[in-house]
Amino acid sequence: MTATEPQEQPQRVKPCRIRALFNNIKFFVLCHGMLQLALLLVSGYLKGSISTIEKRYGFSSQKSGLVASFNEVGNTVLIVFVSFFGSRVHRPRCIGIGALIASMAAFLIALPHFISGEYEYTDDISRPNENVTGLCLTESERPSSNQTCSKKEGNGHNDVFYILLLGQLLLGIGCVPVQPFGISYIDDYANKKNSPFYVGILFALTVIGPALGYLMGSFLLRFYVDFNTVYPVEMSREDPRWVGAWWLGFLLAGTLLFLTSLPYLFFPRSMKTEEKSNTQMEPTSEKLMQEEKKAAQSDPMNELSLTQFLKNFPHIMWRTLRNPIFLLVVLAQVNLAAMVAGLATFMPKFIERQFSKTASFSNIMIGGFSIPSAMCGIMAGGMILRRLNLSIRASAAMCTAAVLVAIIFAMPLLFFGCQTQRIAGVFPANNENLPQCSPACSCSNQAYNPVCSSDLIEYRSPCHAGCKVAIKGTGLKILNYTDCCLTPSGYAVPGTCGSGCSHLIVPFMIFSSLTCFLASLSQTPSFMMILRSVTPEDKSLALGIQFMLFRVLAFLPAPVLYGSAIDSTCILWGEKCDKNTSCLYYDLDLFRTRFLGLQTFFIFGGLMFFVLSYVVLRRSSSAQPEQTEQINCSEKPEKEQLSQSNGQYEKV
């Protein structure tokens, strides 16, 4: 017996340590932080690579915006039920199942890369069996093309579009239980002093996660989309035909999501709070069941059935929306959220087109400057609110001032931009003075391999420039084209001429980051205004209604609206199999004014509703003293009568 005791003791200690680990709220916070980071990594990476996906599969910006926002559909439909099932289900296990669904969604989003074949582009010189010279040839000189339009190409990759929508839908469904169940679980079992600190960590990760997603996109988009099958790639990253490895990030983020979801399957339904766990490390199952029953009895939501909850929800929602402060502040936040949703989706593309930068560089600007500026603004707003102990009226004044100053810094952004370069046959529309020598070359309308002439006129391809000779360097790389009919010098350089104002990216990012910082100062005060404007029993549902309105009015329609505005500025659409694909050239002046004009419009909307909330609060505060004076005046005669009567009684 003595020989077996030392062997059995480690086997008993190990399960106890594991059980104690999963009964520790600090370990839950660590796991939940990693899970939220992985989820937001997917969201940020998708927005950072949306312009690359658009180019790869020939989507319009409106379609890209729909893909980017479609996760809100599943989230919006199911978020209402979270308020009902919050304390009735095994919350950690629901979070784990949702995270597993989200990881499957990330893998599904990457699936089109493996089923759509290799990326094909104009003048792919690595394919010697096809006519890809792209040079000026007459109809008799041009060999017959063996290219045929498959059904997939003819449909414009509709199957890929629907796969991406399905992946986004599953991603939104998987995200539903994560934040509400996680925060409520932490608030129930954490020390009341530590609970705000833990929740603050999770809110900080909501900003850090997307930033890391953009930075990961900046790194992975440096790799060619088919680097796993095509090597070497004789095309530089600055080439407008370049498509990065957009799919690789979803595989990495999906794997991280899968790994971070597994611990949730082992957390208990309930655990001891941090105060009680200091005296008793390992709770018994009987006491846990008793605490669950007490919590269930104290929760008024558990007294309602699902049908009763659904019947009462419109009434509660209407009662909450009738609160003028709640409604005005939420509408102000909706305007700012719509601005953020559109900018987060298409700001990388704006930087690419406006300043002739790569997708990798654009993601660095967003993930390294814009998002950290917003995070600093949120933190600074919370510090100001805490240091000055602002009232609800002072919070409204602070939000109004912050958004007003943000507008002042946002207005100059409309002037930091470039004019559209001269494009033969495309822009300007009345370009009769530009040389036209391509009709004799029988150039294809599907060709897109821009070249720039010595007089800074851009042509869609060497064929459109009338070039007949390609000078190659080491390997298959083309250095320049000669024997062109466009200029006296007769040569052209591969690549776009560019917008010619890439130096303006520095002041643009400075003013853009300041605008993000100033607008974010209103985040924490406005959130506290909502909490203080509703009754305590309606707080949880009020927050649920707030996030639902965010999704329905901002996160879902805003990317589509921004995408439609961008599409309206296109001056030349790509073609494949006689169908339009993604846009090749934009009117940069219209692009800038409409894209940033929407930003200014939504900031003005937020300012207007913050001003109205301040006016309502000021009137209500001025009306209260009048009511108290009337009450005091009505009480004085009663007191005098009582004193007189008491005096008469004394005389008697």
pLDDT in tens, 425-446: 888 876 555 556 656 777 777 8
Task: State the chain's mean pLDDT as an integer.
Answer: 79
Query: What pLDDT is attached to residue 53?
Result: 93
Position 531 confidence tier, pLDDT thresholds 50, 70, 90: confident
Least confident among 185-199, 278-292, 571-585: 278-292
Q: How many CB atoms lie within 10 A of CB 15?
A: 9
For residue 505 the two structure tokens come to 């990216």
- Reduced to 3 DSSP states, what percent helix, strand and coil does the chain have, rounded to the nearest 5? 65, 5, 30
For residues 403-428, one letter each, b for 16 or more C-beta atoms within 10 angstroms of the residue's C-beta and e for the rest, the string is bebbbebbeebeebbbebbbbbebbe
**What percentage of residues in the chain have a pLDDT greater than 70?**
77
Position 523 confidence tier, pLDDT thresholds 50, 70, 90: confident
pLDDT 10s digits, 444-469: 778 888 988 888 888 888 888 888 88
Amino acid at 446: Q
Whole-angstrom CA distances from 357 to 186, 361, 418, 419 are 44, 6, 13, 15
pLDDT 10s digits, 622-633: 665 555 444 454
pTM: 0.83
Position 169 confidence tier, pLDDT thresholds 50, 70, 90: very high
How far, in Å, CA of 171 to CA of 150, rounded? 31
Query: What pLDDT is attached to residue 437?
Result: 60
Q: Which residues contact 580 (CB under 8 A, 6 or more apart)?
A: 58, 60, 156, 573, 574
Mean pLDDT within 502-514: 91
Confidence check: pLDDT of 604 > 50: yes
Least confident among 21-25, 35-39, 322-326, 420-424: 21-25
Least confident among 136-150, 211-225, 266-280: 136-150
Query: What pLDDT is attached to residue 256?
Result: 94
Q: Which residue has the higher pLDDT, 278 or 573?
A: 573
Query: What pLDDT is attached to residue 179?
Result: 77
Confidence check: pLDDT of 538 > 80: no
Query: What pLDDT is attached to residue 509?
Result: 93
Query: What pLDDT is attached to residue 491?
Result: 81
Burial of 377 (0-12, 13-18, 19+ CB in 10 A): buried
Query: What pLDDT is attached to residue 182?
Result: 82
Confidence check: pLDDT of 395 > 70: yes
Burial of 150 (0-12, 13-18, 19+ CB in 10 A): exposed
Least confident among 287-301, 319-333, 365-379: 287-301
In degrees, rounded to 5, the angle at the alpha carbon of residue 268 between the alpha carbons of residues 262 and 273 is 125
Query: What pLDDT is attached to residue 280?
Result: 46
Confidence check: pLDDT of 160 > 70: yes
Q: Which residues contact 23 (CB under 8 A, 6 or more apart)?
A: 268, 271, 272, 277, 282, 283
